[in-house]
Amino acid sequence: MGTMEQYIEDAEKALLHTYNRYQVVLDKGDGVYLYDIEGKKYLDFCAGIAVFALGYNNKRYNDALKDQIDKVIHTSNYYYNMPAIEAAKKIKKVSGMDRVFFTNSGAEAVEGAIKAARKYAYLKDGRTDHEIIAMEHSFHGRTFGALAVTGNPKYREAFEPMIGNIRFAKMNDFESVLEQVNEKTCAILFETVQGEGGIYPAEEEFMKSIKKLCEEKDILLVLDEIQCGMGRTGYMYAWQKYGIRPDIMTTAKALGCGIPVGAFLLTEQVGANSLTSGDHGTTYGGNPLAGAAINIVLDLFEENHIIDNVKETGAYLEKKLDALVSEYDCIETRRGVGLMQGLVFNRPVGDIITKALDRGLILINAGTDIIRFVPPLIITKEHVDEMTAILKTCLDAE
């Protein structure tokens, strides 16, 4: 076996330079810990970017996937398969939505949601100039449709022209949304809790005002739950806290807990009046392996009372982070819900994250000045204590 340095050198010669990776080659995981190829142990508060909700090396999850691999991995969407049917029924139940389309990623779920919204509007008035309102500081993925609704010009500029007819408003500023609404508006799309953009939860009044506006004008409310969904905020989907229901929603990341799957979900009304045969498709989407992953993930969520743990441990994490805000002048505030939290610093956090990694703690940022906490949803108070102890040694060493 080569050294870590050799592997990193090989990687830099072969892979396209689209990521600034941390200088570590990860090898395996167990529970909430990851190990690099030299055997060093890391407490993981990133979870593969809000993906590995159930932790690593969960035997039930691994066995379910192995069983499915031994049966069949892929068959195509020309035929029905049992795991996908089961997965669709389960995801309907936990989300309260009516129709499901399985994708391979989050961005692809956003693409589908945009197509469904445009088709719904097209069937109503036959126009082809509909507009979508998205939010500043949003993140919806890197494909063209998803990028076009991502409210960060830095991600978009070099790739212009985007798909057209997108307008941007400000999250939690209802007036700014109203200013963008006109007779062409077909959808208002945002993350229930903005993730990459800096952990901004939608305020209750904002959410309710938008829902009311959408109902009055038959505009579709499209919520991106790719990061904040799947139990992370203490609700299966973050919008469930507000007593509303979106017309379309997207989910991915923790949905497959590591198997690349996503989905967009629709109400019956939108499902029956938008995409139909020939309008949309994917080769892999909802294949038996993906279906098996979703099934075991949703089963384990229920059996292990994941949502209850998020509520309890999330409250504890909040308390601990708030204590850090009081203790350290370089930390301005905390924002977030459940196990999706951000600590806002008065300066870039890159060096703190690198220091933490050296000390065996995996953290990530959201923007330059925010440390983001999106750990596996099985973490305990002891893990939170372990994390804060390491983080404090990094801050004290500044």
Ligand X SMILES: *Cc1c(COP(=O)(O)O)cnc(C)c1O
Single residue of 44, 131, 224, 247 touching ligand X by CB under 6 A: 224
Task: Count residues near ligand X (CB under 6 A).
Answer: 15
Instruction: Please choose, out of 52-60, 161-169, 224-232, 285-293, the segment that lies near ligand X by the rule CB under 6 A.
Output: 224-232
How far is the CA of 126 from the CAs of 99, 222, 355, in angstroms? 24, 21, 57
Rounded to the nearest whole angstrom, what is the least distance from the CB of residue 246 to ligand X in the complex?
14
- Our CB check for ligand X shows the closer of 297 and 390 to be 297
Single residue of 105, 192, 251, 341 touching ligand X by CB under 6 A: 105
Taking CB positions, which residue lies at the least distance from ligand X? 106
Which residues lie below 8 Å from residue 127, measured CB to CB, with a gap of 6+? 121, 184
The number of C-alpha atoms within 13 Å of 194 and in the hemisphere containing its C-beta is 25
Six-digit token string for 343: 């600590």
Could you say whether residue 195 binds ligand X (CB under 6 A)? yes
Reported in sequence order, the residue ranges of the chain that DSSP labels E, i.e. its strands, are: 26-30, 33-36, 41-44, 99-103, 131-135, 166-169, 185-191, 193-194, 200-201, 220-224, 248-251, 262-266, 331-337, 340-345, 361-362, 364-365, 370-373
CB-based contact 130:186 (threshold 8 Å) = yes
Rg of the chain, C-alpha, whole Å: 21
CB-based contact 48:23 (threshold 8 Å) = no
Instruction: Please choose, out of 12-20, 82-90, 100-108, 380-388, the segment that lies near ligand X by the rule CB under 6 A.
Output: 100-108
- Our CB check for ligand X shows the closer of 340 and 343 to be 340
- Our CB check for ligand X shows the closer of 68 and 150 to be 150
**What is the rounded CA–CA span in Å between residue 340 and residue 377?**
10
- Which positions from 117 through 156 interact with ligand X, judged by CB under 6 A? 139-141
Calculate ∠ Cα 70-293-242, nearest 5°: 170
Rounded to the nearest whole angstrom, what is the least distance from the CB of residue 87 to ligand X in the complex?
17
Rounded to the nearest whole angstrom, what is the least distance from the CB of residue 194 to ligand X in the complex?
8
- Our CB check for ligand X shows the closer of 370 and 394 to be 370
- Our CB check for ligand X shows the closer of 285 and 331 to be 285
The number of C-alpha atoms within 13 Å of 220 and in the hemisphere containing its C-beta is 32
What torsion, rounded to 10 degrees, do the Cα atoms 102, 247, 228, 194 define?
120
- Which positions from 310 through 339 interact with ligand X, judged by CB under 6 A? none
* DSSP code per residue over 123-136: HHH--S--EEEEEB
Q: State whether residue 368 is helix, strand or coil.
A: coil
- Which positions from 160 through 189 interact with ligand X, judged by CB under 6 A? none
Could you say whether residue 191 binds ligand X (CB under 6 A)? yes
- Which positions from 9 through 28 interact with ligand X, judged by CB under 6 A? none
Single residue of 226, 230, 352, 377 touching ligand X by CB under 6 A: 226
Q: In what order do the strands lie in the sheet with 166-169?
A: 99-103, 262-266, 248-251, 220-224, 185-191, 131-135, 166-169
Could you say whether residue 106 binds ligand X (CB under 6 A)? yes
Rounded to the nearest whole angstrom, what is the least distance from the CB of residue 218 to ligand X in the complex?
25
Could you say whether residue 107 binds ligand X (CB under 6 A)? yes
- Our CB check for ligand X shows the closer of 256 and 320 to be 256
- Our CB check for ligand X shows the closer of 195 and 271 to be 195
Location of structure tokens 């600034």: 20
Could you say whether residue 372 binds ligand X (CB under 6 A)? no
Could you say whether residue 252 binds ligand X (CB under 6 A)? yes
- Displacement of CA 135 from its chain's centroid (Å): 16
Could you say whether residue 192 binds ligand X (CB under 6 A)? no
Rounded to the nearest whole angstrom, what is the least distance from the CB of residue 149 to ligand X in the complex?
10
Which residues lie below 8 Å from residue 266, measured CB to CB, with a gap of 6+? 97, 98, 99, 101, 116, 247, 248, 274
Six-digit token string for 79: 């035929």
Rounded to the nearest whole angstrom, what is the least distance from the CB of residue 287 to ligand X in the complex?
16
Could you say whether residue 227 binds ligand X (CB under 6 A)? yes
- Our CB check for ligand X shows the closer of 120 and 190 to be 190
- Our CB check for ligand X shows the closer of 130 and 253 to be 253
Rounded to the nearest whole angstrom, what is the least distance from the CB of residue 50 to ligand X in the complex?
7
User: Which residues would be at the binding site for ligand X (CB under 6 A)?
Assistant: 105-107, 110, 139-141, 191, 195-196, 224, 226-227, 252-253
